[in-house]
Chains A and B, each alone.
Chain A
Amino acid sequence: MIDLDRHSSLGSMLREALDRYEDDLCLIEADRDRERCRLTYAEVRAARGRLAGALAAGGARRVAILMTNQSKWHLAAAAALHVGATVVPLDPKLSPDEHAALLKHAGADTLFVEQHLHRKLAYDGKAIVTEAPPGFDLRGARRFEECEGEEPPPVDRARGDIACIVYSSGTGGRPKGCMLTHGNYLSQLKALLGKFTFERGDRYLSILPTNHAIDFMCGFLGPYACGATVVHLRTLRPEFVRDAFPRYRIAYAALVPMLLRNLQTGLEEKFKAISGPRSPLFSTLRWLNRILTRRRPHLGLSRRLLRPVHRGFGGSLKAFFAGGAFTDPAMLRFFYDLGIQVANGYGLTEAGTVVTLNDMADYRPDTVGRPLDGTEVRIADAGPDGIGEVCVRGPTVMAGYLNDPELTAQTIEGGWLRTGDLGRLDPTGHLRLFGRRKNMIVTAGGKNVYPEDIENVFDGLPVKEFCVFAGHVLRGDRKEQLLVVVRPDGREFLEDLRARNRRLPDYKRVHAYIPWEKDFPRTASLKIKRDALADDIRGGAGAPVVDL
């Protein structure tokens, strides 16, 4: 593994990786069940050189990348970092108008963009378009595949310089461009690799787009620092995601809870289909594995005891990383009991990516783990129940919001980042989250209630989707009440909803439900966009509220 302390910038770290591991396989790009390309570290270095030549010739200083999940994302970022430019990763799921607004806000002078996204975009900077069909009118933009330039000398940056401007998927119409320094990323990378390291040649399955902070760290910087291979799968289709594990003998993958749930469902269906004498035998082996790994995981043992399960994933799987939303503890436990570790954590763009991580020593799926080395977490304004606002201090906290000193000053006070999330630290240092501060309600009896905290009780409700809201977010007339928005799937759910509601203490119970037929808006990482959904519902004339 590369000694990260010797580097002051991401460009310099990547240069060492591309030289040191030059004969190793760096990237595999697959689409469905086909492989599109394989590149060694030396080939990535050559491609980076050509692109960097083109960027240097154009005087690029701030380079935006607007692509779905694919290998050219890495080539573009490596080239930009080589010439000392700041990278602006953009979420491909946003609308063309949102892309245009963020490009303008970031002051991006150059843009790498996929052709289908460029087609609808209004952008007057220099655009470099990937995968444009021959003869397609690029409106003055350059074709990625034709970008050629002689590799320029590297431009070094200091740890305090801005490496990326990342727009947080946070709320509100005000763009929040988090300025993350080279030092932020290098510190974060060192702390993460201290917990989960890639062996040289390990394969990481990348299915989230690389603008996503988790993929940027676990699917770009991390593997390069260790000489691992990144497998980009250009589809989220569950059947191809499942097939990719054995096909490429994947060691790590970052998944969002929705995809984890999909894998769990697939496994449960397979388990149900086991029949005859194999059925009790398999149940016994699962039980045995659960008992033997209760205190700490034992990957080798689990792979032997539950060979078919692990072989289904290719036999090389070490762990999943999960984040981006509240992850159901029962689901985490399901995988853990099979010997499949799911390292869930908590992070936010403003803190560099990851703040806490559940490593496997003293695994606590009911929490989001403990702070990474070098990161301090404290709970501000804690109530008698110990719950208060999570504040973070450390070398991964951003330099501030781009062009917004006022918001920066409100968010970072005395070096502490106020996250807006509510949590409690237990005596072992594990953090448990309860929701967003602004979503909380205070009942007439003075109790604090957190809608996100209640959602676990409704997991498994026979509906397509649901989301619990504080009344004040949805409807003024129900200010101090909790409402659940459900997207029915035709099955009867009301009795189940009532029964689950009764399991809650009375002050935490949901008062009414709102049936909602439209697909819930989700982020690129498939997290429900609570604010967008609330906006839709507020604007949805006639959405009935049914008392429970």
Chain B
Amino acid sequence: MRTQEQTENELLDLAAAHFKVDRKKLRPEDDIFQKLGIDSLQALELLTKLERHFGVELPDYELQGVSDFRTLAERIHVRL
């Protein structure tokens, strides 16, 4: 069973690897779009990666109103 912190870390690892961003520069409270330099369609692509990794399903609407990694991690974590 993962802790919330582990979920956050795994999310940040995946995001950094997928968008080729230095992992050390990503923090849970960072803005996803700003930090990764992505638009809303690319954010939806990230959601698919996360689903496959965590084995959960995240409807597109779960991204609505989410701007930071921590909130996204929370939404994933409650589904684990």
- Does A93 contact B64, Cβ atoms closer than 8 Å? yes
| Chain A, Cβ-Cβ closest to B43 | A519
B4 adjacent to chain A (CB < 8 Å): no
B41 adjacent to chain A (CB < 8 Å): yes
* B37, B45, B59, B67: the one within 8 Å of A464 (CB): B37
A464 to B33, CA, bound (A): 10
A330 adjacent to chain B (CB < 8 Å): no
Chain B interface residue count, Cβ-Cβ cutoff 8 angstroms = 17
- Does B40 contact A522, Cβ atoms closer than 8 Å? yes
- Does B45 contact A465, Cβ atoms closer than 8 Å? no
A239 to B60, CA, bound (A): 13
- Does B44 contact A518, Cβ atoms closer than 8 Å? no
- Does A526 contact B40, Cβ atoms closer than 8 Å? yes
Q: Which chain A residues lie closer than 8 Å to B47 at the CB level?
A: 237
A403 adjacent to chain B (CB < 8 Å): no
B34 adjacent to chain A (CB < 8 Å): yes
B6 adjacent to chain A (CB < 8 Å): no
A237 to B47, CA, bound (A): 9
**Can you list, as one digit per residue, whether each of B45-80 has a CB less than 8 Å from chain A (1) or not (0)?**
101100000000001110010010000000000000
Q: Which A residues, 510 to 528, have Cβ-Cβ distances below 8 Å to chain B?
A: 517-519, 522, 526
Are A236 and B31 also in contact (CB < 8 A) when A68-B61, A93-B64 are?
no
* A237, A259, A262, A490: the one within 8 Å of B48 (CB): A237
CB distance from B45 to the nearest CB of A (A): 6
- Does A237 contact B60, Cβ atoms closer than 8 Å? yes
- Does B38 contact A236, Cβ atoms closer than 8 Å? no
Q: Which chain A residues lie closer than 8 Å to B29 at the CB level?
A: none
- Does A517 contact B31, Cβ atoms closer than 8 Å? yes
CB distance from B37 to the nearest CB of A (A): 4
Are A489 and B60 also in contact (CB < 8 A) when A235-B44, A238-B44 are?
no
A258 adjacent to chain B (CB < 8 Å): yes
A92 adjacent to chain B (CB < 8 Å): yes
Chain A interface residue count, Cβ-Cβ cutoff 8 angstroms = 24
Q: Which A residues, 474 to 488, have Cβ-Cβ distances below 8 Å to chain B?
A: none
* A116, A240, A519, A522: the one within 8 Å of B67 (CB): A519
- Does A262 contact B67, Cβ atoms closer than 8 Å? no
A92 to B64, CA, bound (A): 10
- Does B40 contact A519, Cβ atoms closer than 8 Å? yes
- Does A235 contact B31, Cβ atoms closer than 8 Å? no
Q: Which chain B residues lie closer than 8 Å to A93 at the CB level?
A: 64
A160 to B40, CA, bound (A): 41
Interface SS of chain A: helix, strand, loop or mixed?
A: loop
> Which of A239, A464, A522 has the most B CB atoms < 10 Å from its CB?
A464
Q: Which chain B residues lie closer than 8 Å to A464 at the CB level?
A: 33, 37-39
- Does B41 contact A262, Cβ atoms closer than 8 Å? yes
- Does A92 contact B31, Cβ atoms closer than 8 Å? no
**Can you list, as one digit per residue, whether each of A331-364 has a CB less than 8 Å from chain B (1) or not (0)?**
0000000000000000000000000000000000
Q: Which chain B residues lie closer than 8 Å to A236 at the CB level?
A: 41, 44, 60
* A116, A239, A489, A526: the one within 8 Å of B61 (CB): A116
- Does B37 contact A490, Cβ atoms closer than 8 Å? yes
Q: Which chain B residues lie closer than 8 Å to A116 at the CB level?
A: 59, 61
| Chain B, Cβ-Cβ closest to A34 | B57
A234 to B57, CA, bound (A): 13
- Does A259 contact B59, Cβ atoms closer than 8 Å? no
Q: Which chain A residues lie closer than 8 Å to B48 at the CB level?
A: 32, 237, 239-240
**Can you list, as one digit per residue, whether each of A518-540 has a CB less than 8 Å from chain B (1) or not (0)?**
11001000100000000000000
Q: Which chain A residues lie closer than 8 Å to B40 at the CB level?
A: 519, 522, 526
**Can you list, as one digit per residue, whether each of A230-244 has a CB less than 8 Å from chain B (1) or not (0)?**
000011111110000
A32 to B31, CA, bound (A): 26
A250 to B47, CA, bound (A): 25
CB distance from B65 to the nearest CB of A (A): 8
**Can you list, as one digit per residue, whether each of B14-34 has a CB less than 8 Å from chain A (1) or not (0)?**
000000000000000001011
- Does B59 contact A518, Cβ atoms closer than 8 Å? no
Q: Which A residues, 32 to 46, have Cβ-Cβ distances below 8 Å to chain B?
A: 32
| Chain A, Cβ-Cβ closest to B21 | A490
Q: Which chain B residues lie closer than 8 Å to A92 at the CB level?
A: 61
CB distance from A514 to the nearest CB of B (A): 15
- Does A465 contact B31, Cβ atoms closer than 8 Å? no
Q: Which chain A residues lie closer than 8 Å to B44 at the CB level?
A: 235-238
A42 to B14, CA, bound (A): 46
**Can you list, as one digit per residue, whether each of A465-505 has a CB less than 8 Å from chain B (1) or not (0)?**
10000000000000000000000011000000000000000
A522 to B61, CA, bound (A): 14
| Chain B, Cβ-Cβ closest to A117 | B61
- Does A465 contact B41, Cβ atoms closer than 8 Å? no
Q: Which chain A residues lie closer than 8 Å to B61 at the CB level?
A: 68, 92, 116
Q: Which chain B residues lie closer than 8 Å to A519 at the CB level?
A: 33-34, 39-40, 67
Can you list 11 residue pairs at the A/B interface with Cβ under 8 Å?
A92-B61, A116-B59, A234-B60, A236-B41, A237-B47, A238-B41, A238-B44, A239-B45, A464-B38, A489-B37, A517-B34
Known pairs A116-B61, A258-B41 / 20 extra A-B pairs, C-beta < 8 Å: A68-B60, A234-B60, A235-B59, A235-B60, A236-B44, A237-B41, A237-B44, A237-B45, A237-B48, A238-B44, A238-B45, A240-B48, A464-B37, A464-B38, A465-B39, A490-B37, A519-B39, A519-B40, A519-B67, A526-B40
Query: Ordered nearest first, which 10 A-B pairs have the shortest CB separation?
Result: A489-B37, A519-B33, A237-B44, A517-B34, A235-B60, A238-B41, A490-B37, A262-B41, A237-B48, A236-B44
